[in-house]
């Protein structure tokens, strides 16, 4: 039997780091702490070693197809597959950022949506039967959904939305911000929210695609970790990172032959119904 393996993106700090900590304690396989910066990643591994936990390390910048490809090759060669993938890495501009909104939209979309998508495209072929994928999104994505024009909302919640149509919507949001009329075009005024709405909608599409996949019992869900005390929240969040990791880890460790949740948005271990019909 090949050794089972879990990968957590953006796990040198914050919620990702806490997800690695919990998986090291509860998953019977190798756990990869990954980071875009090798030094920060190795330091994080050493910090967990002090807790007598033994994650492994691999560099991963989700904005770099080359970096993603190297991780894929490594997993293929050393494990012949993948059992748990937690897409946690993301960025958020601070509310007081002076960067132009269109730049915030472009940069956030490239990392949070397209980076996550590139990781999925590269690593999904490695998923073994009974694997679990967790896309860390945010209730902010649902808040953005609720502010969409009816026409856009219908597209996002359609059960026939395809991945290429979703990519088109995400690109349209960015180009509308560049034209300065994204709100007039029916979008909410949040770059981060748009990226996370994209991740939530992507998860539903990915789960639908699994219905025709010969690999049995593969589950993929999105989640919100809650408002967590990390650098992203400027340490204003009310949950500890370990508390924020609870729902992502619950989804990552759903027992074999579970049928639900599948393709859902989950918070506090409960499905969040985000569609309006
Ligand atoms: N904190 C909250 O209240 C909250 C609420 C809802 C959802 N979330 C979501 O939870 C997840 C974790 O957030 P957090 O609060 O732990 O944030 P964080 O403390 O800012 O950590 C984000 C992690 O992602 C990494 N990252 C950023 N861009 C990357 C890239 N291109 N490639 C690889 N790694 C990258 C960061 O690495 P560096 O150290 O190199 O920057 C860091 O390790 C995110 O998806 C976030 O959107 C957080």
Q: What is the set of active-site residues?
A: 192
Residue 143 lies in a domain: no
Residue 185 lies in a domain: no
How do residues 102-123 score in pLDDT, each as one tens digit? 999 999 999 999 999 999 999 9
The confidence band for 241, taking pLDDT boundaries of 50, 70 and 90, is: very high
How do residues 61-86 score in pLDDT, each as one tens digit? 999 999 999 999 999 999 999 999 99
- Structural domain including 77 reads 5-93+110-138+194-271
- The residue whose C-alpha atom lies closest to atom 32 belonging to ligand 1 is 61
- The residue whose C-alpha atom lies closest to atom 1 belonging to ligand 1 is 228
CA angle 253, 259, 265 (to 5 degrees): 70
**CB-CB contact of 91 with 61 (8 Å):** no
Mean pLDDT of 10-16: 99
Count how many domains the chain has: 1
Pair of tokens at residue 48? 């967990």
**CB-CB contact of 156 with 201 (8 Å):** yes
CB atoms within 10 A of CB 37: 12
Mean pLDDT of 22-27: 98
Q: Report the percent of the chain where pLDDT is more than 90.
A: 98
How far apart, in Å, do the first and last CA atoms of the chain sit?
Answer: 45
Nearest Cα residue to 32 out of 17, 43, 47: 17
Contacts of 177 (CB under 8 A, 6+ apart): 101, 102, 105, 106, 187, 191
| CA–CA dist 242, 245 (Å, integer) | 5
Q: What confidence score (pLDDT) does residue 157 get?
A: 97
Q: Is the pLDDT assigned to residue 12 strictly greater than 80?
A: yes
Q: Is the pLDDT assigned to residue 249 strictly greater than 80?
A: yes
Residue 243 lies in a domain: yes
Q: Is the pLDDT assigned to residue 2 strictly greater than 90?
A: no
Atom of ligand 1 nearest to the CA of 61: 32
- The residue whose C-alpha atom lies closest to atom 36 belonging to ligand 1 is 10
Pair of tokens at residue 68? 């993603």
Q: Is the pLDDT assigned to residue 30 strictly greater than 90?
A: yes
Average per-residue pLDDT in the chain?
Answer: 98
| CA–CA dist 132, 207 (Å, integer) | 11
How do residues 170-201 score in pLDDT, each as one tens digit? 999 999 999 999 999 999 999 999 999 999 99
CB atoms within 10 A of CB 93: 16
How deeply is 184 buried, as exposed, middle or buried, from its count of CB atoms within 10 A (0-12, 13-18, 19+)? exposed
**CB-CB contact of 108 with 193 (8 Å):** no
Pair of tokens at residue 23? 């998986």
In the structure, which protein residues have their CB atom closer than 6 angstroms to any atom of ligand 1?
A: 9-10, 12-16, 35-37, 40, 60-63, 88-91, 111, 115, 136, 138, 224-225, 227-228, 230-233, 237
The confidence band for 277, taking pLDDT boundaries of 50, 70 and 90, is: confident
Q: What confidence score (pLDDT) does residue 7 get?
A: 99
- Mutation probe of ligand 1 site: the residue of 90, 91, 114, 202 with most atoms within 8 A of C-beta: 90
Quote the ligand 1 centre to 2 CA distance (angstroms). Answer: 30
Q: What confidence score (pLDDT) does residue 1 get?
A: 72
Residue 250 lies in a domain: yes
Instruction: Give the domain CATH number at 84.
Output: 3.40.50.720
Quote the ligand 1 centre to 11 CA distance (angstroms). Answer: 8
CA angle 165, 114, 23 (to 5 degrees): 120
């Amino acid at each position: 039997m090949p050794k089972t393996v879990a990968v957590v993106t953006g796990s040198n700090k914050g919620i990702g780091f806490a997800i690695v900590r919990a998986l090291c304690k509860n998953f019977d396989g190798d756990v990869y702490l990954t980071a875009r910066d090798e030094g920060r990643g190795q330091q994080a591994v050493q910090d967990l070693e002090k807790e007598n936990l033994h994650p492994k390390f691999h560099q991963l910048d989700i904005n770099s197809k080359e970096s993603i490809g190297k991780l894929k090759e490594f997993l293929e060669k050393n494990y012949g597959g993948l059992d748990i993938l937690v897409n946690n890495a993301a960025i958020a501009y601070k509310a007081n950022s002076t960067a132009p909104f269109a730049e915030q939209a472009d940069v956030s979309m490239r990392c949070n949506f397209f980076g996550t998508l590139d990781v999925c495209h590269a690593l999904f072929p490695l998923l073994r039967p009974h694997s679990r994928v967790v896309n860390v999104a945010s209730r902010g994505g649902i808040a953005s959904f609720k502010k969409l024009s009816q026409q856009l909302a219908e597209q996002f919640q359609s059960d026939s939305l395809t991945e290429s149509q979703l990519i088109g919507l995400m690109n349209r949001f960015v180009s509308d911000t560049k034209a300065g009329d994204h709100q007039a075009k029916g979008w909410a005024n949040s770059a981060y929210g748009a990226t996370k709405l994209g991740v939530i909608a992507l998860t539903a599409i990915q789960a639908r695609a699994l219905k025709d996949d010969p690999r049995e019992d593969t589950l993929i869900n999105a989640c919100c970790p809650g408002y967590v005390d990390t650098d992203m929240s400027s340490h204003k969040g009310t949950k500890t990172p370990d508390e924020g990791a609870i729902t992502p880890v619950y989804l990552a460790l759903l027992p074999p032959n579970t049928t639900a949740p599948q393709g859902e948005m989950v918070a506090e271990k409960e499905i969040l119904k985000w569609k309006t019909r």
